[in-house]
Amino acid sequence: MSSDPEGAACEYSPQAALSDEERRRFQDPATIRRMFEEVRTIAVVGLSRDPAKPSHYVPAHMQRAGYRIIPVTPHLGTVLGETTSPDLASVPVSMDLVLVFRPGPECLRVAEQAIAAGVPRIWFQLHIPAGEGARRAAAAGLEVVVDRCMMVEHREVADSRAGEAAGGAGLSKRQPTG
């Protein structure tokens, strides 16, 4: 951290907007595991066409793992073989989860769209400061994950399942970030 007071004011941690209790609640391993078991269709707000960006390769990983990915982006066309929708209200299929790759200031709007569309779960990708959107979604009854990478978490759950099948200990005891 900078000793310069003005520099310190410009530094930001994506966790800064969440309390310790919110971090525990929004990064709960049991909730994450259940989401992967129950979810089949994921609407990705901010899905990129650029394969080098996390907002492309994370959803591509999930698609390869068997999940249907619905791209939500203002760019018309197709991404990952699916037709794009400009917003969640325009998605023509039922969604199990919304995965958010948008800047922090847009997270509340995306959460409100997810609530209005009746989506039961929302996941704000790693390093997205989504405090206000996460609290709004949780207050409306959505299951919420914040500041976790869906691809990393999916791999960890898959590895733990393989370990369980081989007689291992199961899901890791990784703690919420803070």
165: phi then psi, degrees, rounded to nearest 5: -65, -30
What DSSP assignment string belongs to 105-135? GGHHHHHHHHHHHT-SEEEEETT---HHHHH
pLDDT value for 166: 59
**What are the pLDDT digits (tens) for 14-36?**
544 788 999 999 999 999 999 99
Contact of 148 with 123, CB cutoff 8 Å? yes
- The CATH architecture of the domain made up of 40-159 is 3-Layer(aba) Sandwich (3.40)
pLDDT value for 172: 45
**What are the pLDDT digits (tens) for 59-92?**
999 999 999 999 999 999 999 999 999 999 999 9
Tokens of 58: 């994370």
Residue 177 CA to residue 161 CA, distance in Å, equals: 23
In 3D, which of 104, 96, 112 has the Cα closest to residue 62?
A: 96
pLDDT value for 160: 82
Contact of 42 with 68, CB cutoff 8 Å? yes
**What are the pLDDT digits (tens) for 143-168?**
999 999 999 999 999 888 776 665 65
Region 105-131: mean pLDDT is: 96
In 3D, which of 107, 152, 109 has the Cα closest to residue 129?
A: 107
pLDDT value for 15: 44
pLDDT value for 27: 96
